[in-house]
Structure formats: structure tokens, C-alpha cells
Amino acid sequence: MVQQLHKRFSDDQIKDLIRRYLKQEIARSYIQEILGIKRRRFCLLVKQYRANPDTFTVRYQRKTKPRAIAPSIEKNIITELTIDKRLIENKAVPLKRYNYSYVKTRLETEYHQKVSLPTIIKRAKEYGFYLKKKQKKSPHDREVITNYIGELIQHDASYHLWSPLAGEKWYLITSLDDYSRFMLYAMLLKQETSWAHIAALQTVFLRYGLPYSYYVDSHRIFRFVQGRDSIWRRHYLFTDDVRTQWQQVMDDCGVKVIPALSPQAKGKVERPYGWLQDRLIRTCVREDVTDIHQAQRVLRSELHRYNYQQRHSTTKEVPYFRFRNAQHEKKSLFREFTVRAPFISAKDIFCFRIRRIIDNYRKISIYNLHLRVNNAIPRETVELRIYPLNNDLCEIRFWLKSKLVDVQTVKATDLPGVHL
């Protein structure tokens, strides 16, 4: 793109060329080529110079003054930026920069005021609400690495102070399709447990089907990682020799698990959630959210905006429409969820698994709870598949030799090892 004439040459340089032209020292065609202008423009410059050589200039003169924004709009911009500044200065809150696009959206939705993004940025710089971007050590490749929806689901949990007014940190568990960037699952929880992640799988698998693979970090819920041997202790179980409860669910469903083996790889998983997390915190503060139920409503609202309204910066498409178009074009690796034999219910899949040996009285003991098993065979191993019905009750399904022999309901408090 060719810059304007006054940005490439000074007034004195142009005046010198015109004087030499008038003295017939340089032909017009050469000057036009040097200045990068056409004959009409050159003739106008000569005419302007002849009229008054002393005041000749090619500097741009703005004919109209820039339109000033209304005082109420400027006041609201400063108010929103002041809130952002307090959040950034709070070290407990995971915000490190201003979000001018969020301020623009906020003005439109809450105040019904329209203002351009450059205007907001200009006011931010004038009033000191601006932080220079830190130079990245290496560029990040944000290209989509998959070719189908369901090819790779990025699953993550983040622990932050999502609402400073609540005074406590919560876990945000999310599942995102890599190809479409469609957020399949998002939930705020006070505790991160194995059941929380199993419940996330249940929601995604029953609603969308079974994907090809899941990408997770090396958290103990997802993967057993054994430490090194020492002179005092020698380990006989190695990493991945023990299948966690979450992994056993994935095995039953036939879904591949891909662990992120380094913090750098883990960072790539977290980046797609930045937009949602950023807006969640800012909105919780502005709406005076003080408990997790209010925050969950805010999360649902922001999730709807992200999935159905926001054009993604990497794909340049709205996630929902990209997901839907892939379905129509048969670009999907999702498979229909079915309960494989001999199991008969989804409760037999999305559950905790424990093995016990039946004693001579046809009883088993689990966490000091003694249960009599109907249709049991003494000295045989029975598999207990425990499905939480709610925060108070659990259903225990007894499987013996690939046959469901009994179903019992117990209090969750009687199973302290099953963390809901």
C-alpha cells in the first residue's frame, strides 16, 4: 500500500522539485515518477506553488473536526475500565490485561450505547487504562490440527477466583471440540472429583456420541503416574499400569486418551478457554455474583454467546455453525453411544468400580459397610459398579460372572471413598 504524499516527502523536497521543473531542469515525467503521482495531481501542485510559494504545503488539513462522543458514553467507558483495572491489580484474579472488546459489548448490551473499538482504546490510553503487550518468546501455532468434529476433545479443569465477591475459588470443567471450537460442556464446581469428570463424560457422550479421542493433562484423576524407585522402596506398578476410575470409563466406551506430557503442551489445551474465562470473571464482578449458582447462570449465558454468536479468531466461524456444517458434510468421528454387552444400563458405564470377594455368609465389606449380596456365590469375586443418584444416595449394581445379580441403594455418607 502506497503511503500518502505528505508522509513520503517533506514540503521543502517537493518545492525543490517544482522549482527545478519550472526552470526546465527536470522533465515532468521524472518528477511524477519520483513522487508517485499522476499528471493531474502534479499540475495541481504546480498551480498551488505558483499561487503562493511561501505557504505551499502538502500536509493533510482536516476539514471537519472529529465528532465528540456524548459525556454519558465517556463516563460509562471510564467506569467499565476502572472495574477492569481493579480486577487486574487483584493478584488472586487470573486477569492480566484489559479487554476493550468486552467493554464495547458491555456498553451495547447494558447501556444501549454504540461506540467504536478504536474510540474505547483511545480513551483507555488517555486515562491510563492501558498495558503494553509482553513480547512472546516464541509464536504460538493456533491452526486447527484436526479434520473432523469428534476427532479430538480438549478436556480441562481450571481452579480460579471466578467471582471475587464470593471470596472462594471454584473449579471450571470444560470440554471443547478441537475442529469446530464448539464447547460441549462447561460446569462450575466447588470440588474437583473423579465423579465430576465422569459426569462430564456422561453428558457429552449421551448428547453428542462417542468421540475418537480425548486430550487431557496428567492429573491423577486422568492418569496414574508412578514416581522413581529409591533405595528404600522399589515400585512394581509403573505409569499406566493402574487404570484410574476415569480411564476405566473411557476403556468401556472405546475412546482413546491422549495425555499432555509437558506444561507447554498443557498450555495449548488451556488457550481456547481464555475467551470464556475472561468474560466469566468480568461479568461475575459487574453482576455482583456471590455464590456458585449465580455464577453458573452467568457461565451458561457466556457459553451461549461463545457457541452461537461469537466468531472464533482461529476458525473465523461461529463454533455452532462450523459444528453443524461438519455434521451435514459427514465430517464427523462421533459414534452413537451404546451400552456394550453384558451391561444393560448407562449406570454400568459411568460409575465407580470396586471388586470384592464374597464371604461364606454371602456378604461383602466396603468402607466398613457390610452388605448382603442376593444370588451371590461364596468365595467368588463380585464387581461393584457404583452410580451416584444425587449428593445423598448411591446405587450399587453387583456384577458376578457377567451377570447382574443384585441392585442396592445406600447413603453416600456410608461410602466415604466415593467422592461426589
**CB-based contact 275:142 (threshold 8 Å):** no
**pLDDT, tens digit, for every residue of 162-173?**
999 998 999 999
pLDDT of 206 above 60: yes
Region 389-410 average pLDDT: 94
CA gyration radius, the chain: 32
Give burial (CB, 10 Å; 0-12/13-18/19+) of 163. buried
How would residue 272 be classed by pLDDT, with cut points 50, 70 and 90? low
Q: Express as a percent the part of the chain with pLDDT over 70.
A: 87
**pLDDT, tens digit, for every residue of 66-120?**
677 899 999 999 999 999 999 999 988 888 899 999 999 999 999 999 999 999 9
Residue 368 is predicted with a pLDDT of 87
**pLDDT, tens digit, for every residue of 218-268?**
888 987 665 544 444 444 443 444 789 999 999 999 999 998 865 555 554
Cell of 270: 488451556
Region 29-56 average pLDDT: 89
Residue 241 is predicted with a pLDDT of 46
Output b/e per residue, 97-107; b: 16+ Cβ within 10 A.
Answer: ebbbebbbebb
Cell of 302: 457466556
pLDDT of 2 above 90: no
What is the pTM (predicted TM-score) of this model? 0.76
In SS3 terms, the chain reads as CCCCHHHHCCHHHHHHHHHHHHCCCCCHHHHHHHHCCCHHHHHHHHHHHHHCHHHCCCCCCCCCCCCCCCHHHHHHHHHHHHHHHHHHHCCCCCCCCCCHHHHHHHHHHHCCCCCCHHHHHHHHHHCCCCCCCCCCCCCCCCCCCCCCECCCEEEEEEEECCCHHHCCCEEEEEEEECCCCCEEEEEEECCCCHHHHHHHHHHHHHHHCECCEEEECCCCCCCCCCCCCCCCCCCCCCCCCCCCHHHHHHHHHCCEEEECCCHHHHHHHHHHHHHHHHHHHHHHHHCCCCCHHHHHHHHHHHHHHHHHCCCCCCCCCCHHHHHHHHHHCCCECCECCCCCCCCCCHHHCCCEEEEEECCCCCEEEECCEEEECCCCCCCCEEEEEEEECCCCEEEEEEECCCCEEEEEEEEHHHCCCCCC
pLDDT of 186 above 60: yes
pLDDT of 379 above 60: yes
Residue 271 is predicted with a pLDDT of 55
Residue 235 is predicted with a pLDDT of 43
How would residue 270 be classed by pLDDT, with cut points 50, 70 and 90? low
**CB-based contact 152:180 (threshold 8 Å):** no
pLDDT of 63 above 80: no
**pLDDT, tens digit, for every residue of 290-334?**
999 999 999 999 999 999 998 888 888 999 999 999 999 999 999
Kindly report the average pLDDT of the chain as a whole number: 87
Distance CA 152, CA 335 (A): 13
Residue 269 is predicted with a pLDDT of 47
Higher pLDDT residue, 26 or 226? Answer: 26
